[in-house]
């Protein structure tokens, strides 16, 4: 049998309807149709070809992306694509480009932080790409600490302008995508100074380049910050440096939704919290969570298909060897990642609803849910990106040696994905934000009943006393038992941290000293939400033969895998006994056997095209070995039998050896 037959055989074993599962994965029939159409549009267009990317030099790589981005914009206009369709089009093109910043950060920053008048002026220009913008917050010396930014925006009452200035080397803007070569505008984050007084960090719309000839405007120095990790991935993007030498902008280019500066130089705070200035980051963190499920689904699709084709050991009589997918070790590394992709998918759908709700509330100045939404987006961003980055690397290892080839698609995917752990809020810094929320919630328990995702903490006094009632491995299939275990562990960790914080001289000192424990408690809290979201999703109507049952198995795999991975926490907090933890692991092994016949069908449900996967190992048809061979032959080193440099550098060594052996 060939790889093609192996996958056909696997597909025939599926116990659920794959087409309906595709819709469950996409979120709705409409969402499925949009994704499917955009994925095929990209896959069938030769302009979006990706296989030659690893061979291109930096300049060609960058220009190639500019070409693709221009073609994509033409498609958006010619085909009258909606914003949603255009977003998916960008997603399937699968190359970081300045348009990510334009649509994910520049436009949302204008919309979220501009006044009605500002929005009316700037948003249409941006949405029609008459101006191209980036989000210039991070500096050479400061990224995480936004309030520590050094760029200044000094109000000049006489000319009714702000003077944007980079006073030090470390104040150079450093990292913004598209800044080096493309963007005409940027939202520059700078400290506002009026009459020598500092008024905190605010966003300012600054024109960077001439709209006529694209050259940098006077007083602005722009450049690229250099090559990044992984050749063909993030180097398609011109992350840039910018320095400002007393650049003047009109006063009405300060984003003034949160606070205003009048003509007279009076600083006026609106009735909205200053954290609304961080709203763009909340919006992107929510998108990043949804992106995590896509990136992880891609990696597991490759590793699962290849694991069904790859055979090693187990044959003593010349018959076929064992499919590596049948090894329990392979299953215990791979199936939790398949389950995580689904868990993150449903968590991101829920987060989107939460985010839509807070956006509507903010419109009418209701800020009550902002702290919870900030904690959820920050925590989920950290949890999902860390697990996805680790998961992609695990998938590479699951593919053995071939996983290390660029043609496997996994090294490039990892290099592309891993900065998600850093950008939009470094992951540990984000967990510490969740910790602030948890500490406040627990400290306030006497006065205020927590709601929403923190509601379970309202039962903290019960959860710290109760013990797990599980007696058999079967009991671990009960969602109530699973959820209570996660809640009890998280509540005990949070309460434990708060009790120890009280022993310090000041809350700040305690928070700094206990920050590692607080970050762990935050992760435990986020896991409660992801697990409960998955469980709640299964309580909804899910049509299709066997679809719900297959998802139930994955939900249990996800929860029990986490329980096994973090069993130290579950045991140390005293909620579980070692026997109960061991029963959970027994159940997990049984669940892997239930996933096994559905494995290929589950990853088919992601509906990924071969173009999107860009992996010889993950091909839908399973024709791996002939195509691996073909891909290898395309390497430039195989252009000739005798490569450049052989005559010059190798032959003299060989000849010298002959000469000395004669002596």
Ligand X SMILES: CCCCCCCCCCCCCCC/C=C/C(=O)SCCNC(=O)CCNC(=O)[C@H](O)C(C)(C)COP(=O)(O)OP(=O)(O)OC[C@H]1O[C@@H](n2cnc3c(N)ncnc32)[C@H](O)[C@@H]1OP(=O)(O)O
Ligand Y SMILES: Cc1cc2nc3c(=O)[nH]c(=O)nc-3n(C[C@H](O)[C@H](O)[C@H](O)COP(=O)(O)OP(=O)(O)OC[C@H]3O[C@@H](n4cnc5c(N)ncnc54)[C@H](O)[C@@H]3O)c2cc1C
Among 113, 137, 172, 385, binds ligand Y (CB under 6 A): 137
Would you say 116 and 255 are in contact if contact means Cβ atoms under 8 Å apart? Answer: no
- Which residues are known catalytic residues? 424
* Minimum distance of ligand X from residue 378's CB (angstroms): 7
Distance CA 49, CA 585 (A): 44
**Can residue 429 be called a binding residue for ligand Y (CB under 6 A)?**
yes
- Given ligand Y, ligand X, none, residue 416, with its beta carbon under 5 to 8 Å by kind, binds none
| Span from 5-13, 200-208, 374-382, 425-433 in contact with ligand Y (CB under 6 A) | 425-433
**Can residue 106 be called a binding residue for ligand Y (CB under 6 A)?**
no
| Span from 120-128, 135-143, 522-530, 621-629 in contact with ligand Y (CB under 6 A) | 135-143
Q: Which two tokens stand for residue 146?
A: 């936004």
Distance CA 241, CA 143 (A): 13
**Can residue 177 be called a binding residue for ligand X (CB under 6 A)?**
yes
Segment (H or E) for 202:
strand 197-207
Which residue has tokens 């839509």? 356
**Interacting positions 483-542 with ligand Y (CB under 6 A):** 515
Nearest CB to ligand Y, comparing residues 177 and 622 = 177
Would you say 357 and 309 are in contact if contact means Cβ atoms under 8 Å apart? Answer: no
**Can residue 98 be called a binding residue for ligand Y (CB under 6 A)?**
no
Distance CA 217, CA 238 (A): 18
Distance CA 96, CA 98 (A): 7
Q: Is 226 exposed, middle or buried (0-12, 13-18, 19+ CB in 10 A)?
A: exposed
* Minimum distance of ligand X from residue 100's CB (angstroms): 5
Among 25, 103, 135, 244, binds ligand Y (CB under 6 A): 135
x/- site string to ligand X, residues 135 to 154, per CB under 6 A? x-xx-----xxxx-------
Pairing of strands 220-224, 311-312: unpaired
- Given ligand Y, ligand X, none, residue 368, with its beta carbon under 5 to 8 Å by kind, binds none
In DSSP terms, 162 is beta-bridged to: 155, 249
Q: Which region holds residue 380: left if phi is over 0, alpha if psi is between -120 and 50, else beta?
A: alpha
Nearest CB to ligand X, comparing residues 297 and 567 = 297
**Can residue 436 be called a binding residue for ligand X (CB under 6 A)?**
yes
Q: Is 209 helix (H, G, I), strand (E, B) or coil?
A: strand
* Minimum distance of ligand Y from residue 656's CB (angstroms): 47
Which residue has tokens 């996800």? 558
> Which string of DSSP letters, residue by residue, matches 279-307?
HHHHHHHHHHHHHHHHHHHHHHHHHHHHH
Is 645 a known ligand-binding residue?
Answer: no
**Can residue 552 be called a binding residue for ligand X (CB under 6 A)?**
no
| Span from 36-44, 136-144, 318-326, 594-602 in contact with ligand Y (CB under 6 A) | 136-144
**Can residue 426 be called a binding residue for ligand Y (CB under 6 A)?**
yes
x/- site string to ligand X, residues 81 to 110, per CB under 6 A? ------x--xx--------x---x------
**Can residue 429 be called a binding residue for ligand X (CB under 6 A)?**
yes
**Can residue 284 be called a binding residue for ligand X (CB under 6 A)?**
yes
Nearest CB to ligand X, comparing residues 233 and 287 = 287
**Can residue 146 be called a binding residue for ligand Y (CB under 6 A)?**
no
- Given ligand Y, ligand X, none, residue 417, with its beta carbon under 5 to 8 Å by kind, binds none
Would you say 186 and 179 are in contact if contact means Cβ atoms under 8 Å apart? Answer: yes
**Can residue 428 be called a binding residue for ligand Y (CB under 6 A)?**
yes
Is 546 a known ligand-binding residue?
Answer: no
Would you say 520 and 428 are in contact if contact means Cβ atoms under 8 Å apart? Answer: no
**Can residue 374 be called a binding residue for ligand X (CB under 6 A)?**
yes
**Can residue 62 be called a binding residue for ligand Y (CB under 6 A)?**
no
Among 112, 143, 232, 391, binds ligand Y (CB under 6 A): 143
| Span from 48-56, 423-431, 485-493, 558-566 in contact with ligand X (CB under 6 A) | 423-431
Among 232, 409, 425, 479, binds ligand X (CB under 6 A): 425
Neighbours of 44 (CB within 10 A): 10
With contacts defined by CB under 6 A, how many residues of the chain interact with ligand X? 30
Would you say 137 and 224 are in contact if contact means Cβ atoms under 8 Å apart? Answer: no
**Interacting positions 244-283 with ligand X (CB under 6 A):** 275, 278, 281-282
Helix 29-43 / helix 83-93 crossing angle, nearest 10 deg: 50
Distance CA 184, CA 136 (A): 12
x/- site string to ligand X, residues 312 to 351, per CB under 6 A? ----------------------------------------
**Can residue 370 be called a binding residue for ligand X (CB under 6 A)?**
yes
Closest CA to 19 of 540, 539, 541, 546: 546
Distance CA 453, CA 445 (A): 14
- Given ligand X, ligand Y, none, residue 234, with its beta carbon under 5 to 8 Å by kind, binds ligand Y
- Given ligand X, ligand Y, none, residue 281, with its beta carbon under 5 to 8 Å by kind, binds ligand X
Name, in order, each residue with C-beta under 8 angstroms of 503's C-beta and a sequence gap of 6 or more: 510
Closest CA to 103 of 78, 133, 125: 133
Q: Which region holds residue 454: left if phi is over 0, alpha if psi is between -120 and 50, else beta?
A: alpha
Would you say 130 and 210 are in contact if contact means Cβ atoms under 8 Å apart? Answer: no
Nearest CB to ligand Y, comparing residues 281 and 296 = 281
Segment (H or E) for 191:
strand 185-194
Distance CA 36, CA 99 (A): 21
With contacts defined by CB under 6 A, how many residues of the chain interact with ligand Y? 24
Q: How far apart are the first and last CA of the chain?
A: 56
> Which residues sit in the known binding site?
138, 177
Interface residue list for ligand X (CB under 6 A): 87, 90-91, 100, 104, 135, 137-138, 144-147, 177, 275, 278, 281-282, 284, 287-288, 291, 370-371, 374, 423-425, 429, 433, 436
> Which residues sit in the known binding site for FAD?
138, 177
Interface residue list for ligand Y (CB under 6 A): 101, 134-138, 142-144, 175-177, 234, 239, 419, 422-426, 428-429, 432, 515
């Amino acid at each position: 049998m060939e790889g093609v037959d192996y996958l056909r055989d696997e597909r025939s074993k599926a116990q659920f309807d794959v087409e309906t599962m595709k819709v469950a994965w996409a979120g709705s029939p409409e969402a499925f149709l949009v994704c499917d159409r955009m994925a095929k549009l990209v896959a069938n267009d030769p302009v979006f070809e990706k296989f030659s990317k690893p061979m291109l030099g930096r300049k060609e790589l960058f220009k190639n992306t500019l070409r693709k981005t221009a073609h994509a914009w033409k498609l958006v206009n010619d085909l009258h694509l909606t914003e949603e369709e255009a977003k998916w089009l960008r997603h399937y093109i699968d190359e970081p480009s300045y348009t990510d910043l334009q649509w994910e950060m520049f436009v949302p920053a204008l919309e979220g932080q501009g006044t009605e008048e500002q929005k009316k002026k700037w948003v249409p220009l941006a949405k029609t790409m008459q101006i191209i913008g980036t989000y210039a917050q991070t500096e050479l010396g400061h990224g995480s600490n936004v309030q520590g930014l050094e760029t200044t925006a000094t109000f000049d009452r006489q000319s009714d302008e702000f003077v944007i200035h980079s006073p030090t080397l470390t104040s150079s803007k450093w990292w913004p995508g598209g800044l080096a070569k493309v963007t005409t505008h940027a939202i520059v984050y700078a400290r506002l100074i009026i009459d020598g007084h500092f008024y905190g960090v605010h966003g300012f719309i600054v024109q960077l380049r001439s709209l006529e000839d694209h050259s940098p405007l006077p007083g602005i120095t722009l450049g690229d910050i250099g090559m990044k990790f992984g050749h063909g991935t993030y180097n398609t993007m011109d992350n840039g440096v910018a320095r400002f030498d007393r650049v003047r902008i009109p006063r009405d280019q300060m984003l003034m939704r949160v606070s205003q500066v009048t003509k007279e130089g009076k600083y006026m705070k609106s009735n909205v919290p200053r954290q609304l200035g961080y709203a763009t980051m909340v919006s992107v963190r929510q998108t990043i969570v949804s992106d995590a499920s896509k990136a992880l689904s891609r990696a597991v699709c490759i590793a699962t298909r290849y694991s069904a084709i790859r055979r090693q050991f187990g044959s003593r009589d010349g018959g076929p060897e064992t499919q590596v997918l049948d090894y329990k070790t392979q299953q215990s590394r791979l199936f939790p990642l398949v389950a995580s992709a689904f868990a993150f998918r449903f968590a991101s759908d829920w987060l989107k609803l939460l985010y839509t709700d807070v956006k509507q509330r903010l419109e009418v100045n209701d800020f009550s849910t902002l702290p919870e939404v900030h904690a959820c987006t920050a925590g989920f961003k950290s949890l999902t990106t860390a697990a996805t980055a680790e998961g992609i690397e695990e998938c590479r290892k699951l593919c053995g040696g071939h996983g290390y080839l660029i043609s496997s698609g996994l090294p490039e995917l990892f290099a592309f994905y891993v900065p998600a752990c850093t950008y939009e809020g470094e992951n540990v810094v984000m967990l510490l934000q969740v910790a602030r929320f948890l500490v406040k919630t627990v400290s306030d328990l006497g006065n205020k009943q927590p709601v929403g995702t923190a509601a379970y903490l309202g039962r903290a006094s019960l959860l710290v006393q109760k013990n797990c009632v599980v007696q058999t491995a079967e009991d671990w299939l009960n969602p109530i038992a699973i959820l209570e275990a996660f809640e009890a562990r998280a509540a005990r960790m949070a309460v434990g941290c708060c009790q120890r914080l009280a022993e310090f001289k000041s809350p700040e000192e305690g928070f700094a000293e206990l920050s590692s424990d607080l970050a762990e408690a935050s992760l435990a809290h986020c896991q409660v939400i992801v697990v409960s979201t998955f469980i709640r999703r299964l309580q909804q109507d899910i049509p299709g033969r066997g679809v719900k049952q297959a998802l139930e198995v994955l939900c249990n795999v996800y929860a029990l895998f986490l329980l096994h991975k973090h069993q130290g926490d579950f045991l140390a907090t005293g909620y579980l006994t070692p026997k109960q933890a061991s029963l959970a692991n027994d159940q997990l092994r049984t669940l892997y056997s239930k996933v096994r016949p559905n494995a290929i069908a589950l990853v088919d449900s992601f509906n990924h095209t071969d173009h999107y996967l860009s992996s010889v190992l993950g091909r839908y048809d399973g024709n791996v070995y002939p195509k691996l061979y073909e891909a290898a032959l395309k390497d430039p080193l195989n252009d000739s039998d005798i490569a450049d440099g052989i005559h010059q550098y190798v032959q003299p060594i060989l000849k010298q050896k002959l000469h000395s052996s004669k002596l």
